[in-house]
Amino acid sequence: MSALTGILFAALIVYGGGWYAGQWTGNFALLLLILTSVTGLYWLAERFHFRPVREKAAADLETADLKRREALAAQGIARVDGDIVSAKEEVLRQPWWLDWTAGLFPVILIVFVLRSFLFEPFKIPSGSMVPTLLVGDLILVNKFHYGIRLPVINKKIISNHEVQRGDVMVFRYPEDPRMDFIKRVVGLPGDEISYRNQHLYLNGKLVDVKPVDAYYDEDSMQMRNRFEEKLGEKPHKLLVDMNRQQFFHPDRKDGPFPFQDHCTYNAEGLTCKVPAGHYFMLGDNRDNSRDSRFWGFVPDENIVGRAFAVWMNFSNPKRIGFFD
């Protein structure tokens, strides 16, 4: 078993090293499921086989020592050498391969349950959600807000809240489901979304925005106009250059995106009818976000959870708190 455990640890190191070096894209949910399953098997084996074997060996050792002492006492020898306590501790001690597998199972199980069904941490890697979220923000995502989903396959088994316009959602990137993206929900199933001349229209009505203040964008190192927009119950901030002429066209890497025929593109922008079971997503940094305007709709089965708080930003701890 020690050799098998060594091989498993070596495979884990190779997998993690290649993932870290960018040689391949890892799947942390799958990795955590495998670790939980493997360490769980070791824990069961320890609980019902290996530990009883060690305990029996320790009991046999104690019985043999007692018989030896009784035999020597019958011969008038009262003083007997030998440290039976240390010997029993050595027999009962877990070998390293059980200590690093069965011993870690409770911790890995807790992490698996928390991450799969309750809350999951993410790091913001780009500026597409500025000013709401900044590069380096470490955020928490509520995994059960929209319902309970099975790990890895992401299939919903229990429904909870419905997706609302204005939610900040983490989802599996439609072009590469191994990657997680974060954007704001703009369109629900059945909505008609238009983005023309830097303005958003929802079901034919212009979504009002009002200027708030000037904002220093650290990514572009320039001052930009910050606006306030209201899609759901609460308003949120966004960055957009109203004087910029921007052209959109579908540029999904693997060809036309699903339901692309629900969208029309022209010189002013685009108009899309959101299909059933799908959502239209935009970044709050409207001029610097690759979102549904380019790669299409997010299917319901890609939903990961609702982002709701920054739990740490090491370069700016004042960022800690809830956001809309």
DSSP 257: P
CA 174 to chain centre: 16
Partner residues linked to 138 by β-bridges: 123, 312
Contacts of 78 by beta carbon, 8 Å cutoff, 6+ apart: none
In DSSP terms, 239 is beta-bridged to 226, 285
Phi, psi angles (nearest 5°) of residue 323: -140, 165
128 is catalytic: yes
Report the distance separating Cα 137 and Cα 129, nearest Å. 11
Residue indicated by tokens 């597998």: 101
Residue of 88, 143, 183, 237 with catalytic role:
183
Which residues does 91 contact at the CB level (< 8 Å), separation at least 6?
A: 54, 57, 58, 61
DSSP character string of 262-309: GEEE-SSEEEEEPPTTEEEEE-SBGGG--SHHHH-PEEGGGEEEEEEE
Is 56 designated active site? no
Beta strands in 29-145 (DSSP E): 119-123, 138-142
Looking at 128, 194, 289, 292, which residue is catalytic?
Answer: 128
Amino acid at 268: E
Contact 239, 227 (CB under 8 A): yes
Residues labelled as active-site residues: 128, 183
